[in-house]
Amino acid sequence: MGTKLVLGLWSLLCVVSLASSKAIVSCKDKTTCRNLRIITSNSNEIPSGLAQHRQSAESIDLHGNLMERFFGQDVGTASQLKALNLSYNLLKDDLQAIGNQVQEIDLTYNQLRYVMVPRGVRIFLAMRNKLSRVTFAGTIVEELNLSKNQLDRIPDISRQSKMVTLDLSCNEISEVNFDYLPRSLSYLNLANNRIFQTSGDRILSSLQYLDLSSNILTIVDKSFNSVPNVKELYLQNNEIVMITTEKTFSSLKSIDLRENDWDCNSLKVFIERNNVRKLPDNPSCKYGSLGTNGLCCIQSSAPYADRVIRYNKRQHEALQNSSMHQQRGPNCANYKPSPCDGDDNKVYEVANAAANDVQSLVAQDKEALQGILNQQRYLLENKQNEKARIENENNQLQTTLNDLTGYIGKLYQDDGFKVPAKPDEQLKQIFTKRDADNKATLEQVIEEERKLQNLQEDIAKIEEELQDLDYRKERLLGDINARNATVVEHEKKIKELQEKIDKRG
């Protein structure tokens, strides 16, 4: 355990120093950056990391940094800041300069001895510190958890008129006066203190949960009339002998009376009056024997006198036992951890976990950088490919150019040029010459076309004449036919005449 811890711490220091002297700031909610996680060993380094998020930050998580000091002016005054988590550090001094906009502060697992709850705070958590004094700058605290501290009295919460939840378990408180508790209180945990006396008569009508277990109460007296509506009442592991209040607790849902020093009669009366049905099992009796209700109790005519004698005997025995302990050392087999024992290494464990956070944050950054690098590589590769392609194209173009230059050179020579010239000059000359040639050719073509047109006109004329000739021929033929007909007619007549002549003759 020890070496592991030391190694862990060593790696933490390494990582933190590796991460340069600047605080590591990351946004838990990537884009909006309202919830910041800051890893640093010194709150003086925070401003540099926080600067860009000052306007947006609504919660700042500084847990597990092993910070010994906290200067609030740079963090605690961020304009939108509502929640500040300073748990698992090594803070010794009271907080400085927390702005009134901060509503929730978690100081669990630090080394604080005194703290003043800042004015705007509604939820204040400072479990497992060394607090012996707590004061309030304001009056609006709703939830206060000071479990596992060194308070020897209930802090002055008489002005906290909005307080609903109060946890003062595992302290060194010896008395409760209900008159100084706010009426708004609904949950009150005073378990594991040294309470031997309750007093007061203020009616806390909202109180539903009251835990007074593991104290040294000997009596439940009429001060309990202050909690008429209690639903859950925990009184186990005290030295209670009697209940003297005649009050009926009509809202009771759950009650624990085990591990006390009950007088059987008193217990019976209370259980019957309050109609208590279900009680937790009581496996073995510290005092007395198992009674009708399943609770241990002692039948006695003088309950207190008996017990005074017994307590004296026990003290004597305890003295003897402790001198035995000194001789033989503690009996480890019988050691039962108290619920108030804090794991003192916890703060280092959490800091180690935070160091892993650093590593994972760094790893994340590295991963992101690697991603960018890969992208760059990919781009570079693309560019290289493109370059190769362009070079290839260039080579091809060069070849084509060479071919072309050769070709032009040849044309140049063919066209009868002799004076050496650059290819483009050559080309120009060739084109000029070709243009001239083309012009001549064009003129020739036009001439030919003109001739052709004349020819066509001649042909047309001839065709016309031919048509005319045809026409005349047709007419001539008609005439001939007509004359032939006439001739034929004449011949016929001549023939007739001849025949007639012949007959006369």
Binding footprint of ligand NAG on the chain (CB under 6 A): 61, 63, 85, 87, 106, 127, 145, 147, 165, 167, 187, 314, 317-318, 321, 484, 488
Nearer to ligand NAG, 127 or 220 (CB): 127
In the complex, the smallest distance separating the C-beta of residue 114 from ligand NAG, rounded to whole angstroms, is: 19
DSSP reduced 3-state for 374: helix
In the complex, the smallest distance separating the C-beta of residue 357 from ligand NAG, rounded to whole angstroms, is: 9
In the complex, the smallest distance separating the C-beta of residue 163 from ligand NAG, rounded to whole angstroms, is: 12
Nearer to ligand NAG, 85 or 352 (CB): 85
Nearer to ligand NAG, 315 or 441 (CB): 315
In the complex, the smallest distance separating the C-beta of residue 189 from ligand NAG, rounded to whole angstroms, is: 6
- Token pair, residue 143, equals 């939830």
User: Distance (Å, rounded) from C-alpha 396 to C-alpha 384?
Assistant: 18
Nearer to ligand NAG, 370 or 498 (CB): 498
- Residues paired with residue 290 on neighbouring β-strands, in sequence order: 296
Helix or strand (DSSP H, E) at 327: helix 303-328
Other C-beta atoms closer than 10 Å to the C-beta of 133 total 16
DSSP reduced 3-state for 331: coil
- Token pair, residue 409, equals 């050179």
User: Distance (Å, rounded) from C-alpha 316 to C-alpha 323?
Assistant: 11
Nearer to ligand NAG, 318 or 369 (CB): 318
In the complex, the smallest distance separating the C-beta of residue 348 from ligand NAG, rounded to whole angstroms, is: 14
Nearer to ligand NAG, 171 or 266 (CB): 171
Nearer to ligand NAG, 298 or 354 (CB): 354
Nearer to ligand NAG, 314 or 434 (CB): 314
Nearer to ligand NAG, 9 or 427 (CB): 9
In the complex, the smallest distance separating the C-beta of residue 30 from ligand NAG, rounded to whole angstroms, is: 18
In the complex, the smallest distance separating the C-beta of residue 97 from ligand NAG, rounded to whole angstroms, is: 21
Nearer to ligand NAG, 37 or 271 (CB): 37
Specify the length of the chain in residues: 505
User: Distance (Å, rounded) from C-alpha 285 to C-alpha 258?
Assistant: 9
Question: What is the separation of C-alpha 370 from the centre of its chain, rounded to a whole number of angstroms?
Answer: 21
User: Distance (Å, rounded) from C-alpha 156 to C-alpha 304?
Assistant: 34
In the complex, the smallest distance separating the C-beta of residue 123 from ligand NAG, rounded to whole angstroms, is: 7
271-278 LR contacts (CB < 8 Å, sep 24+): 273/246, 273/248, 274/248, 274/249, 276/252
Nearer to ligand NAG, 21 or 338 (CB): 338
Which residues lie below 8 Å from residue 246, measured CB to CB, with a gap of 6+? 222, 273
User: Distance (Å, rounded) from C-alpha 439 to C-alpha 436?
Assistant: 5
Question: What is the separation of C-alpha 134 from the centre of its chain, rounded to a whole number of angstroms?
Answer: 35
User: Distance (Å, rounded) from C-alpha 405 to C-alpha 398?
Assistant: 10
The interaxial angle of helices 346-414 and 2-18, nearest 10 deg, is 40
In the complex, the smallest distance separating the C-beta of residue 331 from ligand NAG, rounded to whole angstroms, is: 8
Q: How many CA atoms lie within 13 A of 22 on its CB side?
A: 8
Nearer to ligand NAG, 127 or 181 (CB): 127
Handedness of CA 360, 362, 366, 371 (dihedral sign): positive
In the complex, the smallest distance separating the C-beta of residue 17 from ligand NAG, rounded to whole angstroms, is: 23
In the complex, the smallest distance separating the C-beta of residue 320 from ligand NAG, rounded to whole angstroms, is: 7
- Alpha helices by DSSP H, 21-61: 46-50
In the complex, the smallest distance separating the C-beta of residue 195 from ligand NAG, rounded to whole angstroms, is: 18
Other C-beta atoms closer than 10 Å to the C-beta of 398 total 10
Which residues lie below 8 Å from residue 179, measured CB to CB, with a gap of 6+? 199, 200, 201, 202
* Cβ proximity of 153 and 175 under 8 Å: yes
Based on the number of CB atoms within 10 Å of its own CB, is 65 exposed (0-12), middle (13-18) or buried (19 or more)?
buried
User: Distance (Å, rounded) from C-alpha 286 to C-alpha 314?
Assistant: 13
